[in-house]
Amino acid sequence: MPRPDLILLHPPTVFRFREHPGFYGPISDVIPSSSIFEIYPIGFLTMSDYLHRHGIPVRIVNLAMKMLRSESFDPEEFIRRLDALAFGIDLHWLPHADGSLSLAELLKKHHPRKPVILGGFSATYYHREIMADYPFVDFIVLGDSAEEPLRMLIEAIKSGSGFEAVPNLVWRDGTGRVIINELSNRPESLDYIQFDYLHLLKMAIKYRDPSGYIPFKYWLTYPVTAVFQCRGCSHNCASCAGSLSSFKKLCMRERPCFRPPELLAEDIRKISEYTGAPVMVIGDFLQAGEEYARKFLDAVRKYRIKNEVSVEFFTPPPQEFIRKVADCLENFNVEVSPESHDPKVRKTFGKAYGNRELEQMIASLFEVGCKRIDVFFMVGLPFQDYESVMGTVGYCEELLRTFGGSGRLLPMIAPLAPFVDPGSSIFEEPEKFGYRLCARTLREHRQAMLMPSWKYTLNYETKWMKRDDIVRATYDAALKLVDIKEAYGVIGSENGAMIRRHIVKAKSLIERIDGAGRPDEALRKEILRFNNLDSLCDKHELDWPIKGWRIHFLKLLKLLLR
């Protein structure tokens, strides 16, 4: 097997989740991954592709996926046998605090002379604490665009000098002094990267490691792909590390940087050339303005894409623009996150539109042929108490009554869990939003991930709901929503009964963990089994309404040979 210069590794949230399980709860029920968040960042794809184009071989290892797929897989022995010039680990979203740091320590134990590199939002936010408290981390790449800094860092590692010239880099000199280089690599356009999924396939073949490249547990049965429209955001949702104010703090960006609209359309065309897999366009393409959005849609229209394409709207768009979307995308779905039925709660969270605008958008989308609309609500918001949460579920019933239960409208509700993101408005000014934080430092968040249940993992409470209230509201809302979705034909009675059993079981586990203090072996085994189940919904509810997927094998073979 060829030796790469860099191995990028993605850890599970809790590194020893198989031996020391906590009850992770519904922290991942409305996303494709399991509760150990085995989806590696899309940045792994762009970094690997960029470095390869510049003569630096890179291997991706989804260690979380390998550990999840096989109980007999020994991660330490696997790590011991790895060979590369350097190792990179994502510490992007904070739930990976334990997994990333445990993996870094293990890499340094077995490869003491090889550099260990961290990157991502959370690594950026906590770079001083990491360098002060975790000596097994050698470098941190700051910011949202690590491709070029990482290329320069690998070249500097090869030569043994020149670290002071690498932008966005945190490192130690020969005396152990921590040096923070200027965060000056802030590209104004994403025209230099590629979302080339063929590259991942080629690398999986090259390193004879298909499981190392699989994004999440169910991907082989539902191989959704994604393209990113931007880095950063023009909106300021109060709990999000990707918000406008957070990017100003973490990445020194005054505004998002965008992928040129023609290239974004080309990304989708390339995917459709060899597979019929669904494509998610991450980010509301109206953020860059209506002219950008129209250029993107006009470019997509020329390609006559047959794949299901999912788009996001952060605020309801004009009706004329909705017609434009339908004219340019043959098969499309929409995701929208109003968070609450209460406009006051929604506005405080950072979304200033009313229910009338939301309902007009839904009606317009169905009128022009949108296949499905996913509507996401949340528990744990400012001004939200138990009654407000249940009111949100009642509003879900109103939506289904108005727009029918054909399955084209899918309402979901889940807790803001496990953490309010560091760098977000709430994290920086919790009292202003009515929050009390239970964890501040990276060490505290790492410890929180090791708690026996998700109730104790939550890093916040609010003036309106304590952690007990958030847990109760989450499960009660989910039970009520299951009844509603079953009554309106969104889910079948068999699925409804299964989800009810899971919710009742989850509530029982929380009570037993509270009563036990420290779970015994029998309870730990029960928790471990339950962590593999979805407790608020059937995760496959999220699958788009397509009948399987296809690969154009001859085209794929030609592209690989090319």
Q: Which tens digit of pLDDT belongs to each residue from 217-239?
A: 878 777 888 999 999 999 999 99
- How would DSSP label each residue in 470-516? HHHHHHHHHHHHHHHHHHTTSS-HHHHHHHHHHHHHHHHHHHHHHHH
Between 217-231, 274-288, 432-446, the lowest mean confidence (pLDDT) is in 217-231
pLDDT band at 375 (very low <50, low <70, confident <90, very high): very high
Query: Which residue type is seen at 29?
Result: D
Taking the C-alpha atoms of residue 356 and residue 375, their distance in angstroms, rounded to an integer, is 15
Query: Which residue type is seen at 71?
Result: E
DSSP assignment letter at 271: H
Question: Which ranges of 207-274 does DSSP label H, i.e. alpha helix?
Answer: 244-251, 261-274
pLDDT band at 462 (very low <50, low <70, confident <90, very high): very high
SS3 101: helix
pLDDT band at 555 (very low <50, low <70, confident <90, very high): low
**Cβ contact 362:313 at 8 Å:** no
- Give the CA distances from residue 131 to residues 116, 154, 169, in Å, rounded to whole numbers and listed in that order: 12, 19, 12
Q: For 337-373, what is each residue's pLDDT tens digit?
A: 999 999 999 999 999 999 999 999 999 999 999 999 9
Query: How is domain 6-180 classified at the CATH fold level?
Result: Rossmann fold (3.40.50)
Helix, strand counts (H, E) of the chain: 22, 17
Taking the C-alpha atoms of residue 413 and residue 337, their distance in angstroms, rounded to an integer, is 10
Q: For 387-414, what is each residue's pLDDT tens digit?
A: 999 999 999 999 999 998 777 999 999 9
**Cβ contact 408:432 at 8 Å:** no
E-strand spans in 323-462?
Answer: 332-339, 373-379, 409-415, 435-437, 460-462
CB count, 10 Å around CB of 173?
10
Taking the C-alpha atoms of residue 527 and residue 548, their distance in angstroms, rounded to an integer, is 33
- How would DSSP label each residue in 178-213? EEE-------SB-TT----HHHHHHHHHHTT-GGGT
The token pair at 377 is 């609500």
Tell me the average pLDDT of the chain.
Answer: 92
Q: For 118-169, what is each residue's pLDDT tens digit?
A: 999 999 999 999 999 999 999 999 999 999 999 999 999 999 989 999 999 9
Strands 178-180 and 225-228: unpaired
Q: What is the pLDDT of residue 28?
A: 84
Taking the C-alpha atoms of residue 232 and residue 114, their distance in angstroms, rounded to an integer, is 32
What angle (nearest 5°) sits at the alpha carbon of residue 412, between those of residues 406 and 417? Answer: 165
Q: What is the pLDDT of residue 216?
A: 83
Any residues with CB less than 8 A from the CB of 407 and at least 6 apart, and which?
A: 372, 489, 490, 545
Give the residue carrying structure tokens 């889910």: 491
pLDDT band at 560 (very low <50, low <70, confident <90, very high): low
Question: Taking the domains of the chain in order of start, what are their residue ranges?
Answer: 6-180
Cis peptide before 418 (omega within 30 of 0): yes
What angle (nearest 5°) sits at the alpha carbon of residue 371, between those of residues 368 and 375? Answer: 100
**Burial class of residue 505 (count of CB atoms within 10 Å of its CB; 0-12, 13-18, 19+):** middle
Percent pLDDT > 90 in the chain is: 79
Give the residue carrying structure tokens 């918000």: 243
Q: What is the pLDDT of residue 469?
A: 97
CB count, 10 Å around CB of 213?
25
